[in-house]
Amino acid sequence: MLIPFLIPFVIAIFLSITMGGSGTAPAFSAAYGSNVIKKNLIPGLFGLMVFLGAITGGKETAKTIGKGLLSPELMSFSIVSIILLSVAFSLLIANLFGIPQSTSQATVMAVTAPALYFDSLNSDKLLYEIIPTWFVMPLLSFILAYMAGKYIYRPIRKRGYTISKKINNSYILKGLILAMSMYVAFSIGTNNVANAAGPLSSMACIELNVAKNQYLQVLILATLIVAPSFSIGSSIFGDKIVQNTGKQIVLFGKIEAVIIAFISASLLLGASLIKGIPTSLVQLNVGAIIGIGVAKLGFRNIFKKTEVDRFFIMWIIAPIIAFLLSLFFTYLIDQSGLLHIQ
């Protein structure tokens, strides 16, 4: 039984590597786009802050993924392996195209598939909390960034502060941008690590007959396995994705970078701590980037001169792939009698 039990952990590490690649963009694209940090320094700093966020604030989101959608009694090692593998493949496709993708949305859809198959889906949680958040949060990010760009950034720009060498070369401003990037990575830790750690924790409790009051300890151990792999993924995939998001959408100024990072990270952190909702920081970040870009260049220019449409297409495709793969493998394993549900 040891080898089958370890399979989900191996897949979780693979998934975490792909999540690290996808998550690098929303964390450090703003800082990289404004030339504050070198690419080779990003993976280590990113991994450290993700780990801290997961340990200190990732519990509620992990519970949502591990218990809130699918009955934890169904989280056998075969089902958890299916969920994690489906998400990993969908994100790998997005990473190969250099498109930052929502790990949270792919994971939720991968969990939804076996939940529907076994008629065990918590539809209220999915339909009335999670899905509305997916639509409202990116729109809110866009609106806040657009308003900040119009009423804060543009007046500052008119006064010449944005082109002032004294201000732009200030160590205070550079430090603030770096702090915001670390804040974003911390927020990723509170949300995205749960995509792997949540199912692993529920599975370990079921397979090892761990008492419910010891769930938190199991979750911490799962986090210690999952979180460090984000840094590896950042090293492998982060370069291309940071280039796409940081350089190809809109050229950032340093003040813009602070606005983008603060808005996207704050919204995600709120979703993680208040409701434990798995939410896409990638989409929050791109929403803020587009909001600033529209305030700066106008709607027509930002959508004509960039590759934003490629992002939207992949955001739709990847969660569907995760859902279909998870549903197919669940059916296949069920028919073969290998589900091993207790």
Q: pLDDT digits over 138-171, tens only? A: 999 999 999 998 888 788 877 776 666 777 677 8
Q: Is the confidence at residue 1, as pLDDT, over 80?
A: no
What is the reported pLDDT for 278? 93
> Would you state the structure tokens that stand for residue 251, as one six-digit string?
């050229």
Question: Quick one: 300 exposed, middle or buried, by C-beta within 10 A (0-12, 13-18, 19+)?
Answer: exposed
What is the reported pLDDT for 250? 46
For 252-296, the pLDDT digits (tens) are: 677 887 888 899 999 999 999 988 999 988 788 888 888 988 888
What is the reported pLDDT for 311? 72
What is the reported pLDDT for 83? 94
Q: Is the confidence at residue 331, as pLDDT, over 50?
A: yes
Residue 182 — pLDDT band, cuts 50, 70, 90?
A: very high
C-alpha of 19 from chain center:
7
> Would you state the structure tokens that stand for residue 140, as one six-digit string?
């809110």
Would you say 151 and 297 are in contact if contact means Cβ atoms under 8 Å apart?
no
* pTM assigned to the model: 0.86
What is the reported pLDDT for 249? 45
Rounded CA-CA distance 243/247 in Å is 5
Amino acid at position 42, single letter:
I
For 23-74, the pLDDT digits (tens) are: 777 778 767 766 778 878 888 899 899 999 999 999 899 999 998 999 888 8
Residue 341 — pLDDT band, cuts 50, 70, 90?
A: low
Rounded CA-CA distance 26/175 in Å is 18
Q: What is the DSSP string of 50-106?
A: HHHHHHHH-HHHHHIIIIISB-GGG--HHHHHHHHHHHHHHHHHHHHTT----HHHH
Amino acid at position 321, single letter:
I
Q: Is the confidence at residue 207, as pLDDT, over 90?
A: no
Going by the DSSP 8-state scheme, the letter that residue 332 receives in this structure is H
* Domain residue spans of the chain: 2-336
For 95-140, the pLDDT digits (tens) are: 677 666 778 899 999 999 999 999 999 999 999 999 999 999 999 9
Q: How many other C-beta atoms lie within 10 A of the C-beta of residue 240?
A: 17
- Taking each continuous run of H as one helix and of E as one strand, the counts in the chain are 17, 0
What is the reported pLDDT for 302? 67
What is the reported pLDDT for 127? 92
φ/ψ of residue 107, rounded to 5: -65, -45
Residue 301 — pLDDT band, cuts 50, 70, 90?
A: low
Please choose, from the candidates 338, 342, 274, 330, the residue with its C-alpha nearest in 3D space to the C-alpha of residue 121: 330
Q: Is the confidence at residue 239, as pLDDT, over 70?
A: no
pLDDT above 70 covers what percent of the chain? 85
